[in-house]
Amino acid sequence: MSVLLETSLGDIVVDLLVDAAPKLCENFLKLCKIKYYNFSPVHSVQKNFSFQTGDPLGPDSKESDGGSSIWGVLDARAPKTFVADIDPKLKHLEMGTVSMATVASTKDPDIRLAGSQFLITLGENLDYLDGKAAIFGKVVEGFDALQKINEAFIDERGRPLKDIRIKHTPILDDPFDDPLGLREPSSSPLPSKAQLATVMIGDDEELDENIDEAAVEKLRREREARAQALTLEMVGDLPFAEVKPPENVLFVCKLNPVTQDEDLHLIFSRFGKILSCEVIRDKRTGDSLQYAFIEFEEQKDCEQAYFKMQGVLIDDHRIHVDFSQSVSKLSDNWRDSTNTKRAKQSGGFGGISSLEKRRQYRASDTDSRSRGYGMVFDKDDMRNRGRRNSPSKSSRRSRSQSRSRSPRRKDYKYSYEYRQDRGGRDNIGRDEGRSRHGYHRGGR
């Protein structure tokens, strides 16, 4: 009963200990059968100790759930882990011992739970793993691939700087029946977007054979920074991913809270013309945040100030100066300039005239509004609606005439005045001419 692990650094043949660990072997075989491990990264390498894999996304992905057993994959209602039967007779004595990574159960610390992740030892006599990792196989071929993995460049977390991936998992012999609902894919699936997002330096990328570990780490950091800059560009925080901080702006920190803009301008102006000098302050209180940005007209003046003003005492505080790494001002200027150019071309906000045409959340035609209740109206709509709903003078006059039952008398004009006396009784006084409250009935 064997499985072939095709990795980016070579093939590894694993013989399974079916009699000693049947459930562990069944879980591993069926996960290999459904191509669950394809493109899984080797995410942890401890030299001369072990390497770990089996999580399809790896711990660096925010979408990773740590992997699941075959029963959790087939049935979403089933637990993702299962109880791992650890045989006390099996020990991590040889290089190439294959075992399932386990965790202690929250209900009983003596019970170990396994999922999909497994590890392969890169050294001998590793008794530390006994009782913690559940052995279910051993490597019989591919020790050269194990040696390459052991010698791979890694970062401080044990993550290989150049990706090491499982490519395919062909099964050479499977003695177990398939669980209910298992379907074997006809071909190997393509890597998902979440898996591709975890690639730093591709496993198929050729690097210089003489490159050292520090150079590989530098390359990985550059690619990670480029990916982060691209994300900031997409969300609009940067004008473009390749933006660089200005070279004529100096960052000054550790200032005394009493130090003012004019003080710094006076002190630093001896190195050259200053375009702007600003102490950054709290927006609410106006208190100094004890750092400032000084923009020189010439780059050489900025460099001279950097070398001369390091550690200088200003207002009883020794300041620290450095070249600014902020691109906030560049981004704001670019955004303002872009909106101005667009506005000149077509008007409106950002060149989009429809944003100024109607100040509302939802656009709809006037016909639909007139037929029912609308949610949002602009000023023109409210004005027009008021005109449509308010009755005209002629219509009011006609309605008042239709309600009047007494005959019209042109020579007699009166009005009703409604008031309440001091005793609380209602009085209706009749007065000729116009009443104080202006409520008329009858004459014109």
What is the pLDDT confidence band of residue 444, given thresholds at 50, 70 and 90?
very low
Cβ-contact 218, 155 below 8 angstroms: no
Phi/psi class of residue 181: alpha, beta or left (left: φ > 0; alpha: ψ in -120 to 50)? left
Q: Among 185-194, 298-307, 410-419, name the one with the lowest average pLDDT.
A: 410-419
State the first-to-last Cα distance of the chain, in angstroms, to the nearest integer: 111
- 103 or 341: which carries more pLDDT confidence? 103
pLDDT tens figures, 356-388:
444 444 444 444 444 444 444 455 555 565 555
Domain spans of the chain? 2-191, 206-244, 249-326, 406-432
pLDDT tens figures, 325-336:
776 665 566 556
pTM recorded for the entire structure: 0.51
Residue 333's pLDDT is 61
Q: What percent of the chain has pLDDT over 90?
A: 43
Residue 127 has pLDDT above 60, yes or no: yes
pLDDT tens figures, 46-68:
999 999 999 998 888 888 888 99
CATH topology of domain 249-326: Alpha-Beta Plaits (3.30.70)
Residue 340's pLDDT is 63
CA dihedral over 434, 437, 441, 444, signed as positive or negative: positive
Residue 365's pLDDT is 47
Residue 262 has pLDDT above 80, yes or no: yes
What is the pLDDT confidence band of residue 196, given thresholds at 50, 70 and 90?
confident
Residue 74's pLDDT is 92
Residue 353 has pLDDT above 90, yes or no: no
CA distance linking residue 68 with residue 79, whole number of Å: 8
Q: What is the mean pLDDT of residues 381-398?
A: 55
Which tokens go with 247? 């070279």
Select from 3.20.20.80, 1.10.150.120, 2.40.100.10, 3.50.50.60 the CATH code of 2-191.
2.40.100.10
What is the pLDDT confidence band of residue 291, given thresholds at 50, 70 and 90?
very high
Residue 121 has pLDDT above 80, yes or no: yes
How high does pLDDT run on average in the chain?
A: 77
Q: Among 16-20, 172-176, 367-371, name the one with the lowest average pLDDT.
A: 367-371
CA distance linking residue 384 with residue 93, whole number of Å: 89
Give the Cβ contact number of residue 85 at 10 Å.
Answer: 14
Q: What is the mean pLDDT of residues 203-226?
A: 67
Residue 350 has pLDDT above 90, yes or no: no
